[in-house]
Structure 1
């Protein structure tokens, strides 16, 4: 089924059907008269049966072309992906010391930096992009801006620190988005916003993620503000870091990051290599950088119909030296 904006134009298809019926009727009348008055043996020798059949091809192609043009007039609709000209995205990146694990080459943090910079490069130009890092506390490195180079430069300067306060990172991102929305005229007319949180481990500050400043509480606040948090769990369960000569296990924590995404209305992703992380960011770029709109899709029908009409005209002239 084709979704049509003005389906009443399809009534013109009745005219095409009438033309087809009229053509068949005229051909039968012509055939009857030929049988009545002509010498059949002589007629078959002059006009072979195969040529008799082929001479109907141009009118058949013409009628199909007219039907396609009729559908084009009815305004077929289709979903189209178009670049967003307004949106806000905050990258929130975990810089706790567990991000120095080498289970992802060269390290988790270096791979995260490479993927984040590619994301900034590929993101649609009209989108405001910001960057927040967090360990024991959160730091706003770049407020949302359409200058994505500012984010790339800041990503290169990320520094590791102790502890993991995931909730603080989310709260800081929410505040940046609300501040920008106030400048743009308030929440009612604000562009869509999204937080992209990349982390490898469980929150350590506070101990309880349901604490007033905890990650789950922050996720619920994001849901309340209609700001989905897409989380990326980055690393493997076998990751370790060297702390003062001791190898400390730092397994990735999928469960808490999955719950943050669910509580906020976002999506949860996993990545255990640079290639997988880049793929996740590519997916997010398509989701965030483009929007789907229903719009006119008549062009393919017009092109196909016009081509068939031209083929019919050329065929008629070549075979019959006249239009059908």
Structure 2
């Protein structure tokens, strides 16, 4: 917690003075001149009340303390999505994504993870969807419409080929140009590509060359390789196409390195969801200071009313 007006804490000296004066007023009864017709009853009453007789004063002092803190205008850090941030989800839709080494299949695991990722991101954050097989296509341009993105994920269709480099270049075109992000201390924070694939690049631009272009444009590139290291069948394709996780791990690592991003290897649907989740907060969120003065002001008022109420009840009982 930080304070916008820390100098207001000087008023705590007044609270300390009141505490000291209250303590002075509570001298032991033996030092007082008792002018009460039934001093014994008065002493028994004080003993029965014990520390409860100081409750109203204690609440009153706490109310003053809360009021001083309210005057200091406290604020708390709050994580929020940066409305300037933009993310492109580049998804491999090659036929090998039908492989069942990741249950229920690589493709279905990817779709489930994408749905979760899209739903969990805060409102206002811009997302785009790029798919790639033999060619790369911008399916959904940058938008805050979660329904449109989820619908596009539901209608993804598989195809031949794996053009990873083309997917990166298509994603670059979908993001805001560097001129719109240049004033930010870290322009890469506002433009991110998250690329998911299960294969090695089979055509088009070299992925590392495409990553170098992304780096020149101050765009961060993360890569996710999905599949297992043991061969698995690909339903609907001849047995000769049965394959392991044929992604070129070294290339994906190099793309992430050049693109100032991270590389994730996942071999299960749950790990894929975790990979997307791990990429969320550090890359897309910023800290905003929210003032919480009203909370301390309300607390002060509540404590003051409670103090007065208890004091009034004690007078009636007495």
TM-score scaled by length of structure 2: 0.81
Alignment partner, residue 223 of structure 1: 215
| Gap runs ≥5 in structure 1 | 207-212
Contact 2:81–2:125 (CA<8 Å) still a contact in 1? no
Q: CA deviation at 1:93?
A: 0.5
Alignment partner, residue 24 of structure 1: 23
Matched residues in 1 for 2:15 and 2:33: separation?
A: 27
1:280-304 per-position Cα deviation (integer Å, ceiling 9, x unaligned): 4345455566532123133443344
Q: CA deviation at 1:65?
A: 2.5
1:261-319 per-position Cα deviation (integer Å, ceiling 9, x unaligned): 33322333443333333344345455566532123133443344333323322222222
RMSD: 3.3
Of 281, 293, 306 in structure 1, the residue corresponding to residue 288 of structure 2 is 293
Name the CA shift for 1:265/1:306 in 2 (closer, same or farther; >3 Å). farther
Matched residues in 2 for 1:143 and 1:46: separation?
A: 80
Secondary structure, aligned partner of 1:232: strand
Of 101, 104, 111 in structure 2, the residue corresponding to residue 103 of structure 1 is 101
Secondary structure, aligned partner of 1:143: strand
**Pairwise mapping of residues 11-160 of structure 1 onto structure 2 (< 5 A)?**
11-28=10-27, 32-34=31-33, 42=40, 45-51=43-49, 53-160=51-158
| Gap runs ≥5 in structure 2 | none
Query: Would you say 1:308 and 2:306 are equivalent positions?
Result: no
Alignment partner, residue 248 of structure 1: 243
**Pairwise mapping of residues 142-181 of structure 1 onto structure 2 (< 5 A)?**
142-178=140-176, 181=177
Query: Would you say 1:235 and 2:235 are equivalent positions?
Result: no
Matched residues in 1 for 2:158 and 2:81: separation?
A: 35
Matched residues in 2 for 1:72 and 1:253: separation?
A: 58
Query: Would you say 1:271 and 2:269 are equivalent positions?
Result: no
Q: CA deviation at 1:234?
A: 2.2
Contact 2:226–2:245 (CA<8 Å) still a contact in 1? no
Name the CA shift for 1:128/1:38 in 2 (closer, same or farther; >3 Å). closer
Contact 1:95–1:159 (CA<8 Å) still a contact in 2? yes
Counting matched residue pairs gives 310
Query: Would you say 1:318 and 2:318 are equivalent positions?
Result: no
